[in-house]
């Protein structure tokens, strides 16, 4: 079995988008987890939007802050293309500028050595291409002349950030946020899974390891589990009945050393209030039991798993209070499960010693 490139053992991390309108509380919350990240803060200003951040330096982009809109202009693309290509070998050119993130460079300036790993993120090329429209209201992903460059450009951006993060911590890795992937498998998308496979394989082949995908939707999980990824982050709270159906692909993913991030704790007010730490632990353990009964080794599963919130949430009226409480639940669930399954080196293993731990 391949060794994992990313810490597991039910440590904690989270998705990057936070609802805070102030930098310090958001950064403090991100740093409270085992594997911290630099937060994206779209409520702070327009340039913190994940699509706007990803669009920096891509030719043809038209930003309309007054409308919270990002568009693509084909004529402008060709006018600006050579200027961007002149910088192609300058990797730092493709990193996120201070104007596009109030937190990223501050995060990089911190002493992060005490953490087992750190994480960055970038909006993925498929989601970007599906979201951004041209002057004819046509998604950019359907422009056959632009799409290959989009894949390569976003790979340069991801690689630039990963190199920067690795300079601060040897255990750095990247999430590529791909919420649009769930629509690829819809009969109405027009962008096929065959094309998505080719595009994503091209994209990931240009990015160093470790790298992986995060999304909160419900795509074809086999498609993602079979990509050359080191980590897959998902909303298991919503997809708990669907994900275990892909046991064979999950086993292959784990055997390659892949890490699964179990997005467990809901962050929306109503769903958060409907659950407790106990109910969420039960939900997760029932999901694991289904996988173990289907042939996945429990020890391997636990060793190659992380715990996170289920989703990002920008719509709660409390400006981040419930999200902060959800982070607290994530940490408590991690603590209790690590104790139960003896994932801290100093702990004995009564659940195993009693003969109940290895069904």
Domain ranges of the chain: 11-353
Confidence category of residue 350, pLDDT binned at 50, 70, 90: very low
Confidence category of residue 110, pLDDT binned at 50, 70, 90: very high
User: Is the separation of the CB atoms in 197 and 225 below 8 Å?
Assistant: no
- Tell me the DSSP string of 95-152: SPPGGG-SSHHHHHTS--TTSS--EEEEE-HHHHHHH-B-TTS-BGGG-TTTHHHHHH
The DSSP bridge partners found for residue 192 are none
What is d(CA 195, CA 182) in angstroms, rounded to the nearest whole number?
14
Predicted TM-score (pTM) of this structure: 0.93
Q: Could you say which architecture CATH assigns to the domain 11-353?
A: Alpha-Beta Barrel (3.20)
Confidence category of residue 184, pLDDT binned at 50, 70, 90: confident
Q: In this model, does residue 359 exceed pLDDT 50? A: no
Q: In this model, does residue 214 exceed pLDDT 70? A: yes
Q: In this model, does residue 173 exceed pLDDT 60? A: yes
The DSSP bridge partners found for residue 306 are 11, 261
Q: What is the CA radius of gyration of the chain?
A: 20
Q: In this model, does residue 358 exceed pLDDT 50? A: no
Q: Which residues contact 129 (CB under 8 A, 6 or more apart)?
A: 139, 140, 141, 147, 150, 180, 191
**Residue 2: predicted pLDDT:** 59
Among 237, 31, 226, 239, which residue's Cα sits nearest to residue 118? Answer: 31
Residues of the chain with pLDDT > 90, as a percent, come to 86
Confidence category of residue 14, pLDDT binned at 50, 70, 90: very high
**Residue 357: predicted pLDDT:** 37
- Average pLDDT of the chain? 92
**Of the ranges 20-34, 45-59, 177-191, which one carries the lowest mean pLDDT score?**
177-191
**Residue 187: predicted pLDDT:** 58
Phi, psi of 32 (to 5 degrees): -80, -10
Q: In this model, does residue 189 exceed pLDDT 80? A: no
């Amino acid at each position: 079995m391949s060794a994992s490139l990313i810490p597991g053992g039910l440590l904690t991390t989270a998705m990057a988008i936070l609802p805070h309108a102030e930098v310090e509380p958001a950064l403090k919350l991100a740093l409270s987890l085992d594997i911290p990240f630099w937060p994206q803060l779209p409520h702070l200003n327009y340039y913190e939007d994940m699509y706007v951040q990803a669009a920096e330096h891509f030719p043809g982009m038209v930003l309309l802050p007054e409308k919270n809109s990002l568009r693509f202009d084909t004529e402008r693309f060709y006018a600006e293309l050579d200027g961007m290509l002149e910088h192609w070998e300058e990797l730092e050119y493709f990193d996120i500028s201070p104007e596009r993130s109030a937190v990223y460079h501050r995060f990089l300036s911190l002493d992060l050595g005490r953490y087992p790993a750190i994480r960055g993120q970038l909006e993925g090329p498929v989601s970007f291409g599906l979201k951004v429209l041209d002057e004819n209201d046509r998604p950019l992903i359907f422009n056959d002349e632009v799409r290959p460059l989009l894949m390569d450009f976003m790979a340069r951006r991801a690689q630039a950030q990963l190199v920067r993060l690795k300079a601060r911590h040897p255990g750095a890795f990247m999430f590529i946020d791909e919420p649009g992937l769930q629509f690829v498998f819809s009969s109405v998308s027009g962008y096929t899974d065959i094309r998505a496979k080719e595009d994503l394989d091209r994209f990931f082949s240009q990015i160093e390891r470790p790298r992986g995908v995060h999304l909160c939707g419900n795509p074809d999980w086999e498609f993602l589990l079979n990509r050359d990824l080191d980590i897959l982050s998902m909303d298991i709270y919503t997809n708990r009945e669907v994900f275990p159906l892909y046991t064979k692909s999950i086993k292959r993913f784990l055997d390659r050393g892949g890490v699964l991030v179990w997005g467990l704790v809901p962050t929306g007010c109503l769903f958060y209030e409907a659950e407790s730490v106990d109910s969420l632990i039960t939900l997760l353990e029932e999901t694991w039991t289904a996988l173990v009964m289907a042939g996945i080794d429990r020890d391997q599963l636990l060793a190659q798993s992380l715990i996170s919130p289920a989703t990002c949430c920008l719509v709660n009226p409390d400006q981040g209070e419930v999200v902060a409480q959800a982070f607290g639940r994530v940490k408590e669930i991690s603590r209790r499960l690590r104790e139960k399954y003896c994932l801290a080196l100093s702990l004995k293993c009564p659940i195993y010693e009693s003969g109940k731990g290895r069904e």
